[in-house]
Amino acid sequence: MPTKLTLFSIVPYLSSGGLGMKQRSVIAIAIVLAIAVVSVAGYIYAYHVSQSESEIARESIEYLTEALKNSVKASLKIYKNGELVYYNPNDPITKHWAGLLVNTFLGCHALGCYQTVVFKEGTSGAYRLGTTDVIEVKLAIGNGTTPASFEDYTLENEIASVELTSADIAVIETEASFEVYLRYAFPIDTDVNISEAGVYLYARDWERLDKGILAWYHLLIVRDTFTPIAATAGDSIAVEYAFVFDVSSPPFTKTFWKLVAFYGLGLKGTGIDLGVSLDTVYYVPTIHVAYVLEPITWDPDIVDIASVSSKWTPRLWLVSISESQILVKGFVAQRNAAATYDVYGIAFYIYDNTDRLIALIPLDNVVTVDWSKGFYVELGFSIA
């Protein structure tokens, strides 16, 4: 699915000398309602208004880039006494971790597209990570047999879990990926069948829309079920989850995935330093969007762009989460009096009193845009 950038003009229609205040008000209301209808339907595409030539003609120009969606892949390996006995190369994440990602790292908590997450304890709500002072990651095993589901929020029948330390985690960076490996060998002290495994984010401080929560909650990141593995006392069952974040092409930078790993995978609690931080104590992270005003050469390690326009907060920001992808999309109405821009791409920043570049979408062709143009954007990644 291609990334879509739609630009259209708003201001000239509201400031045309041939329209009275009442007409301008009606038109403004019509435009707002039209955008709302489009938003509810879940389509962020060009909306055309056709009126007589003496009134308003709304111009809409669409620019499409190639498919620019990274992927998040989780895989699972299980070893019995050092021998590989199970491997799933594509272990999809849960709906609740997906909700946490958009709430915390893609601005949905701040911009109104928040998702409900459910914790292992049964508590639910529009949560994001709060102060994140205390945060851990746990591996768990169980003997539940109900097939894994996107809706899962707990193991079916957990029999053991462990908080991981830095010794249990490996971080690997390449030009094409940012990878996190979680591994622990569970000692078995009684005869048991192992048929499910999963990863929990375990944190004390969560923030809901209406209040903060100072309580320990488990959020299930991923769960898998498999043919029961018979283990007896004295055996060792090692569980290894790998999270591979694709950075071989735009849009998401390593900064984004490092923030996700540091907080969303709980690496912060292990003492591993990824060189990133996010102030969620005094700020609710939001999203800023800007035009890139210089040629773009993709580099996943990029942390800043020298020449960009002003940064704007999206006026509409919607999210779509399915078992195959996470997609945020919205409308940006700029308010910059500069005459024109030669635009080479779109930059996305996470903002917590400091802008951090998290995504970059190059355009296929340079586009000259005047100050009265607003634009739609889509940004996403596959999760299956």
Residue 168 in 3-state DSSP?
helix
Six token digits for residue 37: 């209808």
pLDDT band per the 50, 70, 90 thresholds, residue 34: very low
The helix (H) or strand (E) run that includes residue 194 is: strand 192-207
pLDDT of 136 > 60? The answer is yes
Task: Label the pairing between strands 316-321 and 325-332.
Answer: antiparallel
Mean pLDDT of 337-359: 87
pLDDT at res. 7: 43
d(CA 117, CA 131): 18
Tell me the β-bridge partners of 292. 308, 345
pLDDT at res. 338: 59
Order the strands of the 340-351 sheet from edge to edge.
286-292, 340-351, 355-370
pLDDT at res. 19: 39
d(CA 192, CA 236): 12
Out of 100-114, 136-150, 265-279, 309-323, least confident range: 309-323
* Residue with tokens 């971790």, as numbered in its chain: 97
Six token digits for residue 271: 């003492």
247-264 pLDDT, tens digit per residue, is 998 899 999 999 999 999
146-185 pLDDT, tens digit per residue, is 999 999 999 999 999 999 999 999 999 999 999 999 999 9
Q: How many angstroms separate the Cα of 35 from the Cα of each of 39, 41, 317?
A: 6, 10, 12
Six token digits for residue 64: 């499409």
pLDDT of 22 > 50? The answer is no
Give the number of C-alpha atoms closer than 13 A to the C-alpha of residue 138, restricted to the C-beta side: 20
Q: Would you kindly state where each structural domain of the chain is located, as residue ranges?
A: 70-270
CA 178-179-184 angle, to 5 degrees, is 160
